[in-house]
Structure 1
Amino acid sequence: MNTLMVIAVGEFSLGILGNTFIGLVNSMDWVKSRKIASIDLILTSLAISRFWLLCVILLDCFILVLYPDVYATGKEMRIIDFFWTLTNHLNVWFAACLSIFYFLKIANFFHPLFLWMKWRIDRMIPGILLGCVALSVFISLPVTENLNDDFRRCVKTKKKTNITLRCRVQKAGYASTKIYLNLLTLLPFSASLISFLLLILSLWRHTRKMQLNSTGCRDPSTEAHMGAMKAVISFLFLFVAYYLAFLIATSSYFLPETELAVIWGELIALIYPSSHSFILILGNKKLRQASGRLLWKVKCTLK
């Protein structure tokens, strides 16, 4: 158990480092220029949501190991479940915004709706992000309704007792709520997946056009397509692993003596918000250059 906690702290530290770096670089640039690009606003919002998601997951790990009795009372768990659901939905919706933004800015289509969105996306981004925050808060509120002290005692009891009808009803209500909320994250995930598939189509059409014109395929547009696709596909794969781990951690609360399964689920869940930030840093020119300067300063300081 101690080894798992050390791993969790390591993943948490890397994730905090990467997401804090993204937030600081973009915020400092915002202060200096007094304006912020749409892509930087999305990345900063995504980094902030993942910063708090990492904090919630690690806090849940520590409570599970050091203060397991908290799971027998509903008040603390209501707070943890609310913030985990909130930050979970925030980072998924913000990631979907990033995927859609890449698609609109890089893809080449001539459909009137696509062109209308392409021309207006920069002005729409602040409102879309605020809408994601409001929607995530609204979605997270039902988590607090079915979690009360009696239900948590029924779920985490260490003894074989007769489960009353009230406990069964509360347990069924909580299960349906969690399933419903988990399924809602498939909406932004589907939007990211559609954006990725359309980027592939756009790249294929662009590459075919370049070949017909006997022009080299590795032009700036092709490079932009490839960079955006790497960021989106890494999100898709990591989110699938995170989603499965989240389901393991959540469903394990229904059974006694499953703390180890919960921690393993949360260890896997930590990989997504921790590692994807570094993929975004490497895929963004400004962040990549800033990280290079930082590493050079650290290297000089150590020497």
Structure 2
Amino acid sequence: MPSTPTLIFIIIFYLLSLASMLQNGFMMIVLGREWMRTRALPAADMIVACLASSRFCLHGISILTNLLASFDLCYQANLAGILWDFTNTLIFWLTAWLAIFYCVKISSFSHPVLFWLKWRISQLVPRLLLVSLIIGGLSAVISATGNIMANQIISSQGFHGNCTFGHMSLDFYRHYYLSHAVLMWSTPFFLFLVSIILLMFSLYRHVEKMRGHRPGSWDPHIQAHTMALKSLTFFFIFYIFSFLALVISSTKSKTMQNYWYWAREVIIYTGIFLNSIILVLSNPKLRKALKMRF
């Protein structure tokens, strides 16, 4: 029987996951209907639709994985974990592409590469989505390979019948999945961070240029910078929480009876939930649909 703090975190995790699935399902329905009605979506909305679909799947897979592991169905839980790695990697890259898209479209730099991207980024979005799927598939292959190797170590150590790991298999998991995190998640994190820094620098330059104009004059360019930075700030918080929690989980062993395991799960999915709220409020189509519903 789990302790009281563990039980509280378990309840919060499942309620939060169900609420997030409803939230991302709403985004999928609204943008999906718009996609079917107009046969096209703006590039940013296309990324948001894919991001909402991926997060919906991530929450569903996470619920399934934890339920299977709770009943000691380790083989099935490992299979679901491979899907979790695929979906999580996909979300990291989609978030990075969205930040890059905002940076390229809104920033006012005059570099030839950025100028070329400003006119080509919308046409490149479908290819970027395909690249995300390929990288996610590669992450799933790496995860499956790690599970096979870990199972061989467990068999050689004589552990059978439950989810207990020996010291060798734990050491392998820590080093293997830490390398996996660095390879698959730190690269989009770096791209996302660079995009935020460039947007902030672009906003600073534009404000400096506008100082000679009439005080209090409304500038749509500054407003676009500010709105994008507000959204990306919450993306950044989500990245920090998720990235650190995932890296820590790759280096430290926590059983499902330990409340720190469920606390980590709550931290990760709270970040995703709050980030999805920002996506809804910052997107005109989603905000309009939400007002019509309520």
Band of TM-score, shorter chain: 0.7 to 0.9
Deviations 1:99-127 (A, max 9, x none): 00001111111110000111100110001
Deviations 1:67-97 (A, max 9, x none): 1x224xxx32431221111111100100001
The counterpart of 1:9, out of the listed 10, 14, 33, is 14
1:125-274, aligned counterparts within 5 Å? 125-148=125-148, 149=151, 151=153, 153=159, 156-157=163-164, 168=168, 170-184=169-183, 185-214=185-214, 216=216, 218-252=218-252, 254=253, 259-274=258-273
Preserved CA contact (<8 Å) 2:14 2:63: yes
Aligned position for 1:53: 58
Q: Shift in Å at residue 248 of structure 1?
A: 4.0
Aligned position for 2:99: 99
Query: Residue 60 of structure 1 aligns to which amino acid in structure 2?
Result: T
Preserved CA contact (<8 Å) 2:69 2:77: no
1:118 maps to 2:118:
yes
**In 2, distance between residues paired with 1:126 and 1:288?**
24
Query: Residue 262 of structure 1 aligns to which amino acid in structure 2?
Result: Y
Deviations 1:22-78 (A, max 9, x none): 11111111111111110110000111111111112222332343x1x224xxx3243
**In 1, distance between residues paired with 2:138 and 2:146?**
15
The structure-2 alpha-carbon separation of the partners of 1:45 and 1:257, relative to structure 1 and needing over 3 Å to count, comes to closer
Structure 1's unaligned 5+ residue stretches are 296-303
Query: Residue 183 of structure 1 aligns to which amino acid in structure 2?
Result: V
**In 2, distance between residues paired with 1:219 and 1:180?**
46
1:37 maps to 2:42:
yes
**In 2, distance between residues paired with 1:13 and 1:196?**
31
Aligned position for 1:294: 293
Secondary structure at the aligned position of 1:157 is classed as coil
Secondary structure at the aligned position of 1:212 is classed as coil
Deviations 1:152-210 (A, max 9, x none): 5489439xxxx6xxx72x44443222011111311111111111111111111111111
Q: How large is the RMSD of aligned CA atoms in angstroms?
A: 2.2
Give the length in aligned residue pairs.
281
Deviations 1:250-270 (A, max 9, x none): 445x46675433222112111
Query: Residue 210 of structure 1 aligns to which amino acid in structure 2?
Result: M
Query: Residue 90 of structure 1 aligns to which amino acid in structure 2?
Result: L
**In 1, distance between residues paired with 2:12 and 2:37?**
38
Query: Residue 113 of structure 1 aligns to which amino acid in structure 2?
Result: V
Query: Residue 287 of structure 1 aligns to which amino acid in structure 2?
Result: L
**In 1, distance between residues paired with 2:39 and 2:256?**
53
Q: Shift in Å at residue 2 of structure 1?
A: 3.5
The structure-2 alpha-carbon separation of the partners of 1:197 and 1:256, relative to structure 1 and needing over 3 Å to count, comes to closer
